Structures are given as C-alpha cells and as structure tokens.
Amino acid sequence: MCGAKATTEHRRCIRCRRRLRKSSVDGLGPKCRARIRRAARANVDHPQWQIAKASEALELGAVFPLRQNRVFLVVSDDGEAVYRTAATGQCNCPAGLRSVRCYHSVAAHLVAAA
C-alpha cells in the first residue's frame, strides 16, 4: 500500500485508557508515567536490576495490557518473543516457568501498582 505508514504511537494511555493529547511511544500519559516512576522508586520487594529492566521495557513501550491492568503482553529484550504475564507474578517466560520472579512480571506489577 502506497502512502500507508505503520506507527507504534498510542492514542490512549495503556494504564487508564484516557485519550492522550500527544501520542507517545511508551503508551503512557504524563500522570500515569509519574505514578509508575514513583512505584518503581518505592518498590523494595524486587532487586534493583529487575526494576531497571522493567522500567526500560515500559519506556520502550514493550508492555501491552490485555485485561484491565491484570494481564499483560511483554516483549523480550531481543524482541524475539512476547510473554504473557500477570501483575501477581505468573509469566510464561523461561524464568517464570521455573517459578522465578522475572522482570516481565515486575513491569506488569509496576503498571498495576501505579
């Protein structure tokens, strides 16, 4: 199709579903982005490296909600796979299948906690 342009910009916030005035790559509105950053700073239950990787995934727009901020799709580091994860800690990535807390579930937890 000539003239068709693929965009990854979001028109609504992925957390609260409000219309965004400016389209953003990460899919978050300014208030939700601030809430998630506050939740990341206040979170002491997870190792710092997982919080950093989860924050990076959120900033890159690699987290997509499926069901009312309870179940999410999270893209892997290399972009090869997409994992289904819940804010409660379940994830279908290799680490999550071994019952190890992964940064995918930390990212889902940050969005749900904000």
In tens digits, the chain (114 residues) has pLDDT values of 444 444 455 688 878 888 888 877 788 888 988 888 888 888 778 888 998 999 889 888 888 888 777 899 999 988 899 999 998 889 999 999 998 889 999 998 888 887
> Is residue 50 domain-resident?
yes
pLDDT of residue 82: 94
pTM of the model as a whole: 0.76
Residues 6+ positions from 65 with CB-CB distance below 8 Å: 14, 15, 71, 72, 111
pLDDT of residue 27: 82
> Is residue 93 domain-resident?
yes
> Is residue 1 domain-resident?
no
Sequence length of the chain is: 114
pLDDT of residue 96: 92
Instruction: Report, in this order, helix, strand and coil percent for the chain, each rounded to 5.
Output: 35, 20, 45
> Is residue 39 domain-resident?
yes
> Is residue 2 domain-resident?
no
pLDDT of residue 75: 92
> Is residue 4 domain-resident?
no
Instruction: Please state, in angstroms and as integers, the Cα–Cα distance from residue 17 to each residue in 50, 63, 96, following that order.
Output: 26, 14, 28
pLDDT of residue 84: 95
> Is residue 89 domain-resident?
yes
69: left (phi over 0), alpha (psi -120 to 50) or beta: left
Please state at what angle helix 103-113 crosses helix 48-59, rounded to 10 degrees. Answer: 70
**Structurally, how many domains does the chain consist of?**
1
Question: What residue numbers bound the domain in which 104 lies?
Answer: 10-113
pLDDT of residue 59: 85
Phi then psi dihedrals of residue 56, to 5 deg: -65, -40
